[in-house]
Amino acid sequence: MKVAAKWAAGLVVLALSGPGWCAKKVDLDYHIKLLPQSQQAEVRVSLSQGAAVRSLNFDLGRDGDYSDFKADGQWQVTGNRGLWQPSPDKASLTYRVRLAHARKPGVYDTRITPGWALLRGEDLVPAARLDQQDGVELVSRLMFELPTGWKSVETAWPRIGQNKFRIDNVSRLFDRPTGWMLAGNLGSRRLRLGETDVTVASPKGQGMRRMDVLTLLTFVWPQVEAAFPRHPGKLLIVGASDPMRRGAYSLRDSIYLNSRTPLVGENGSSPLLREVVQAIGRFNDHDSSDWISEGLGEYYAIELMRRAGGITDERYAAIQARLTKEGKDVTTLKGEHVNGATLARSVVVLQELDREIRVKTHNKRSLDDLAQAVMRVNSINTKEFVQLAESVIGESSVVLDSKLLR
């Protein structure tokens, strides 16, 4: 009986491991046709088997960016949401999306010109709630159709063809394009740093200091790797000059850097390094706790440069004095969006917390351990941050027992 039972159990294992129990792969393709004349893109979302997806419920926003919908199957717009129920066989949803977004008159967050486009992948395909059949795995690819004369396109996703990329985000059920993207007649420089392929790209004639960017990253990268356990396979840095907005801003594994923004500011901080930290750390917060993610980014923008030897002790002391002065009148760190004074005070608090952790753990731990713990959670608020800090220290924190956090 034992032999028979084992034989039967083996048959069950073989059956479970056979093709019938593997996830059914269904292609989900995004075809992007850039249209400079109308400052739009025509997007086609295609399913190789529409029956695999019961519905996609898109958040279309309130700005009217999406228009001209055509669908195989049922399409219904209610308020700011669009519900697509695909037809059973090959099915596609086609629409147009506005690509140029002005932050204020004459200053752009994203832009498309006759020669290039700088855009966010998040704008191409809006966020959606996916309802799919059990046992289905959607395999997503992103393809660009470029205007005549445009040479190339860059994204933070793995390239699988000339203008073709694989979209694979294990943290999301619905894989869609995300991150900064750049297309047109581009100048690019590439370098492998540790486990990460870094690309710096900009439209030609935009004054982007591509080699300067790579030199700074090469200088500080060993400290980045030592501080953070996550090393992205690819990091894309795109840039352009005015009228694009000034500064630096990160999205998924990608950073936008205005070509006129200094790589290291007079205040000792580096906007580029701040966004490298944000791109790698992916710090997220909630419940009016913006000081955590913004503070960590600014703290490490200074600290990583100091560890690499780019800031002298004298210069570091001057930076700390400036931060203390700027944040001296701040009474609370909590809020949805931190201002300059609150950010300065946040960095000072994190510096004090790092010293407290090192002293109480006899230099066995530091703020790096706390930052890594924050990276492992999807989102964090101030109360949870204090709890994480206390678990790193092994006792309560004097620094965080402050009216600033209440």
User: Which sign, positive or negative, has the C-alpha torsion 292, 298, 301, 306?
Assistant: negative
Query: In this structure, what token pair is assigned to residue 338?
Result: 């931190």
Task: Provide the β-strand partners of residue 187.
Answer: 202
CA distance 380 to 335: 14
The predicted pLDDT at position 336 comes to 86
Q: Tell me the pLDDT of the chain averaged across its residues.
A: 92
Closest to 183 in 3D by CA, of 154, 209, 158, 163: 154
Q: Compute CA 360 distance to the chain's CA centroid, rounded to the nearest angstrom.
A: 34
Burial of 190 (0-12, 13-18, 19+ CB in 10 A): exposed
Neighbours of 168 (CB within 10 A): 12
Look at 17-26, 150-159, 281-290, 376-385 and tell me which has the smallest mean pLDDT: 17-26
pLDDT digits (tens, 9 = 90+) for 249-281: 999 999 999 999 999 988 788 999 999 999 999
pLDDT digits (tens, 9 = 90+) for 278-299: 999 999 999 999 999 999 999 9
Closest to 193 in 3D by CA, of 92, 116, 280, 128: 280
pLDDT digits (tens, 9 = 90+) for 61-93: 988 999 999 999 999 999 999 999 999 999 999
Report the pLDDT averaged over residues 140-163: 97
The predicted pLDDT at position 229 comes to 87
Over 90: is that where the pLDDT of 321 sits?
yes
Closest to 134 in 3D by CA, of 26, 237, 57: 26
> pTM (2 decimals)?
0.90
Parse the chain into domains and list their residue ranges.
283-405
The answer to whether 250 and 293 have CB atoms below 8 angstroms apart is no
